[in-house]
Amino acid sequence: MKAFWISAWTVFLVLASSLAGILLSHVALGVGPDSTPWPRFGVAVVFFWLLHRPGAMTVPMIFAIGLVQDLVLGEVPGAGVLALLATALLLDRMFPTLRTLPLGWRWLGFGAFAGMVCAIDWTLTSAARLAMQPLDLVVSQGAVTIVAYPLVSIALRQVLRVGRTPRRAL
């Protein structure tokens, strides 16, 4: 991951939007087997910033966001951190290409990103608890997260005025 000098405003936007996404992921829609799976907005926000401001989404920033997400959501501390870091580093070469593509292609890229994060997180959580975690919950939460990404991307691009600039006609 390339490190660029970034402004304090950009760091604030990244941290504030990530924290808002994590807190929004903590909203409960029922408890128990009848609960509705809720997207992991923190993962979507990290992916958004990796695409649009890669200099702001450094390894320490991903680490901090992942740790806050683990602590707020009550997951195994470190599992989400390692899942986000490993996925971001593994898919690092994909981001420059995705930046120039339309939303549909970025959505497919996010599907790969979110799928890897969920798979690594599930594996690490199962290993930490010494028991296989329910796979159906992880799959449904991953699917809902993937479906929610266009809304997150469009909202962040509109509110923060971040993203691709329109091409000028010649």
Dist. CA 162–CA 159, nearest whole Å: 8
Q: For the chain, what percent of residues have pLDDT higher than 70?
A: 86
- Looking at the chain, the whole-number percentage of residues with pLDDT higher than 90 is 66
Is the pTM higher than 0.85?
A: yes
Which pLDDT score is estimated for 90? Answer: 93
Question: Where is pLDDT greater, at 129 or 35?
Answer: 129
- The answer to whether 58 touches 103, Cβ cutoff 8 Å, is no
Task: Say how many C-beta atoms besides its own lie within 10 A of residue 126's C-beta.
Answer: 17
Q: Based on C-alpha coordinates, what's the Rg of the chain?
A: 16
- In the structure, what pLDDT confidence band is assigned to residue 162 with cuts at 50, 70 and 90? confident
Sign of CA dihedral 33, 75, 72, 10: negative
Give the per-residue pLDDT at 137.
86
DSSP state of 7: -
Side-chain half-sphere exposure of 37, counting CA atoms within 13 A: 16
DSSP assignment of 38-85, as one string? Answer: ---HHHHHHHHHHHH-TTTS-HHHHHHHHHHHHHHHT--TTHHHHHHH
Mean pLDDT across the chain, nearest whole number? Answer: 87
Question: 82-141 pLDDT, tens per residue?
Answer: 999 999 999 999 999 998 899 899 999 999 999 999 999 999 999 999 999 999 989 999
